[in-house]
Chains A and B, each alone.
Chain A
Amino acid sequence: KAGVTQTPRYLIKTRGQQVTLSCSPISGHRSVSWYQQTPGQGLQFLFEYFSETQRNKGNFPGRFSGRQFSNSRSEMNVSTLELGDSALYLCASSQGGAKNIQYFGAGTRLSVL
């Protein structure tokens, strides 16, 4: 079974731009969660989608948004990028929901210049 796939692996953007990250979950998994990982803050939960609906949301500004498609693939969008958005963005999928075992992708490394 293929694992969680995140694309692209690396991105370089400038302040003010927007960016879209993609995540393909493990086949059969309906829940996709997104996390931001930074050296200072560790892993912070962004949001979780289950069957195309956002079920949980972390404490991030509205510039961070996401969606999930009918095939469970998910995208995350960050608008009006700030320098502080530079981070590793991790996607995780699970069968039953965000409280079940999370299977992580390798992440997208975003650098904002």
Chain B
Amino acid sequence: GNSVTQMEGPVTLSEEAFLTINCTYTATGYPSLFWYVQYPGEGLQLLLKATKADDKGSNKGFEATYRKETTSFHLEKGSVQVSDSAVYFCALSDNQFYFGTGTSLTVIP
């Protein structure tokens, strides 16, 4: 079946540090891959997506590349800000969405 595994949190970084949140997936078909972000008290917002192998999704300085050979979709950002503090969810869609358990990120000044 389909599933998503993402690195456990919480993650704490200093402002301007490099961020990587690992995500791997298992899928029977050719899913689309997504990163969503959830700020406190809010629902999930789409951060970026990739629909096929080798696609790179990017938004607000965040990037992730759809790697079919390693079944991965790791999220990266070169320089995090305090405002990036949130919970990040990796997800895949086949006939429905499957989410990872989320990784909490705290960025300290």
Contacts and interface: CB of A to CB of B under 8 A. Distances in A.
Contacts, number: 54
Nearest to B43: A104
A100 B45 contact: no
Interface residues of B, number: 21
A11 B34 CA distance: 30
Interface in B13-70: 32, 34, 36, 41-46, 49
A104 B94 contact: no
Given A56-B95, A99-B32, A42 B100 contact: yes
B96 A56 contact: yes
Interface in A20-64: 33, 35, 41-43, 45, 48, 56, 58
Chain A's interface size range is 20 to 34
A50 B99 CA distance: 20
Contact of B96 (A4, A6, A98, A105): A98
